[in-house]
Structure 1
């Protein structure tokens, strides 16, 4: 049951208490900006969430969805999860004052490295698992685990501290209450989401399997040429460990991924089983040595990373141009009267869903 005080967002102007600075990022209906508390002068991140103004509108986030995100964040206090500091509200936005996570995305950091052993990789995976373990112990599912939501507190150390962010899709899973929804980023969603089946904590474990696969190889296990092909690959659990990308990957690592990419949620690894897997927690010296000697395919990872950045830029420009032409045609306006810009949340969201360029599947 929700604590009534959670919904009582402060109605004062956030600018009276925080100096709002540069933009750090944006999503479908949110913009994140750096901010500094006027007193005592600490730095935070301000997430401006656009509120839906009417029931018939499709722009903005419904008030109850924002309340759910805030309610969940208020319950969380863990070193691998972003912390909520304060909440303000005005006529158009709800503003979440969050812990400032300034180290960038984990995958961006890895793309800059010259080499990476599986032992080093598991230190990052272990932090992700620790954060998810905390959530699952509270029966909270994140439902949007993907590289863009795995951030670093500070990248200027050898093994940076991971923070899980963006709890906009997170839900508390309650006994006896069936929850179904179709949401998330297609590349990372579990089969039960695609098939509109009851959802639970297991959906996060599937996403961790996909993330681990990409981290070790640079390839994406289910991403197809189209969204429909991606979803079909997911429901069929159509993936393989191509020798081209996994020639230096240990069997321990592959086994860890196999135990997560299981269609039957009852047989899929739980968070506790994942933490106990010998790839994460070796039980003898031989397993520890295997991790130390096995390496991540950084060459392909970097190649895919470069394509990913190029594809994102290209997608945004191409999509803006296409939508600009469509809008002009639809409302019968001249080119200089359209006023259409590339600032649409929808455009950016679609572009973000194409972030990782997959390998082309073989026809065999």
Structure 2
């Protein structure tokens, strides 16, 4: 194990496992505070895309450090076999678990308590010139104080614009069925408003209990997303306010020029 990591942190139990490595709870030998250590085995990185994601995510997390609702990067250690990334410890589950285990839909105040810090984090990313590109409930996690943290920036892209620099559009099919914006699936150039679409879908699911676009297979789901025919079934949305439905229409809007920006959503 990396000598610097052994000196600065005591590794404890395993709390997660992914395609490239293991996440441990760890304790700072200096402060006694708990953190998460994501240890990635380099031999499992099979191609240049994996390597690019590995290199890009810490840089983006470092750029975004400081916002209370974005997972904070604290330290990086590297040895011959592994990369070890120290981040906030978020041991209170993710939004996907909360959505799938609740017996009822979220009330509007409950949904707002999650949605507001999420859109604040997204807006901050966009001000810094970063698009997450994979906003979904699995990547929205909670720490021991129940504070929301936006995580997993492996698909994120820097589009510029932060600090007044030149902006550029993005390409590439990334994202997850149900949440991906239609312009991504069409293979067009797109901008950071893909994150607004995804956040709108999450808000819809919290309020309705079902996604706005779905199919029996991933292909059918993608086709429904590309049609973008947003509906508000009366049996589900009878008690939902007109303000909430209006916000959803302006976020899950196929016409990107009419779709709200994250900053505009935040000001609503």
Normalised by the shorter chain, which TM-score bucket?
0.7 to 0.9
User: Where do 1:14-29 residues align within 5 Å?
Assistant: 14-29=5-20
Match of 1:167 among 147, 153, 161: 153
Q: Is 1:120 equivalent to 2:106 in the alignment?
A: no
Q: Tell me the equivalent position of 1:259.
A: 250
Match of 2:38 among 47, 52, 58: 47
Q: Tell me the equivalent position of 2:213.
A: 222
Residue ranges of structure 2 left out of the alignment (5+ in a row): 161-165
User: Where do 1:1-364 residues align within 5 Å?
Assistant: 12=3, 14-51=5-42, 57-58=46-47, 61-62=50-51, 64-76=52-64, 77-109=66-98, 111=101, 116-154=106-144, 160-174=146-160, 175=166, 177-277=168-268
Write 1 or 2 for the structure with the bigger share of strand.
2
SS of residue matched to 2:178 = helix
CA 1:186–1:51 in structure 2 vs 1: closer, same or farther (change >3 Å)? farther
Q: CA deviation at 1:124?
A: 1.6
CA 1:22–1:181 in structure 2 vs 1: closer, same or farther (change >3 Å)? same
Residue ranges of structure 1 left out of the alignment (5+ in a row): 1-10, 278-364
SS of residue matched to 1:143 = coil
Residues 190-249 of structure 1 show CA distances to partners (whole Å, capped at 9, x for unaligned) of: 112111211321010010011001110110111211111011111110342222322221
Q: TM-score, normalised by structure 2?
A: 0.88
Q: CA deviation at 1:108?
A: 3.5
What is the distance in 1 between the residues matched to 2:38 and 2:44? 18
SS of residue matched to 1:88 = strand
Q: Tell me the equivalent position of 2:163.
A: none
CA 1:67–1:182 in structure 2 vs 1: closer, same or farther (change >3 Å)? same
Q: Is the 8 A contact 2:107 2:207 kept in 1?
A: no
Number of positions where the alignment pairs a residue of Structure 1 with one of Structure 2: 261
| Coordinate RMSD, CA, aligned | 2.5
Q: Tell me the equivalent position of 1:308.
A: none
Q: Is the 8 A contact 2:230 2:249 kept in 1?
A: no
Q: TM-score, normalised by structure 1?
A: 0.66
Query: If you compute each CA radius of gyration, which structure gives the higher value, 1 or 2?
Result: 1
What is the distance in 1 between the residues matched to 2:94 and 2:84? 22
CA 1:248–1:202 in structure 2 vs 1: closer, same or farther (change >3 Å)? same
What is the distance in 2 between the residues matched to 1:46 and 1:270? 34
SS of residue matched to 1:233 = helix
Q: CA deviation at 1:13?
A: 5.3
Q: Is the 8 A contact 2:94 2:140 kept in 1?
A: yes
